[in-house]
Amino acid sequence: MSVTQLLSLSSVSKEFPGVKALDKVHFDLNEGEVHAIVGENGAGKSTLMKILSGIYKKDSGEIIYRGKSVSIPNPHEAQNLELA
């Protein structure tokens, strides 16, 4: 059985004034997998999900979805990509 990579995040970072919310996050999700994102308050869980749903724009890094590098500038595009 071959593994199909669905989503890959490479070096995704996000900063707010005075706060580094995400620092070079790497994450891979293969088709059929289920993951839980856990951590303390302020760890960046919500920020990561908001980047994937188009609410926030990443400052740097790359998001590859279904084998293609994607930009998610807004929630509408996240819906078009079937990420939200």
CB 16 within 8 A of CB 64: no
**pLDDT higher than threshold 80 for residue 73:** yes
Residues 71 and 81 sit within 8 Å (Cβ to Cβ): no
pLDDT, tens only, 12-60: 999 999 999 999 999 999 999 999 999 999 999 999 999 999 999 999 9
Look at residue 1 in the predicted model and tell me its pLDDT. 66
Q: Domains, the chain, ranges and CATH?
A: 5-80 (3.40.50.300)
Helix (H/G/I), strand (E/B), else coil: 62: strand
This model's pTM is above 0.85: yes
Going by C-alpha positions, the residue among 66, 76, 82 that lies closest to residue 5 is 66
Residue 38 carries which side chain, given as an amino acid letter?
V
38 vs 84, more confident: 38
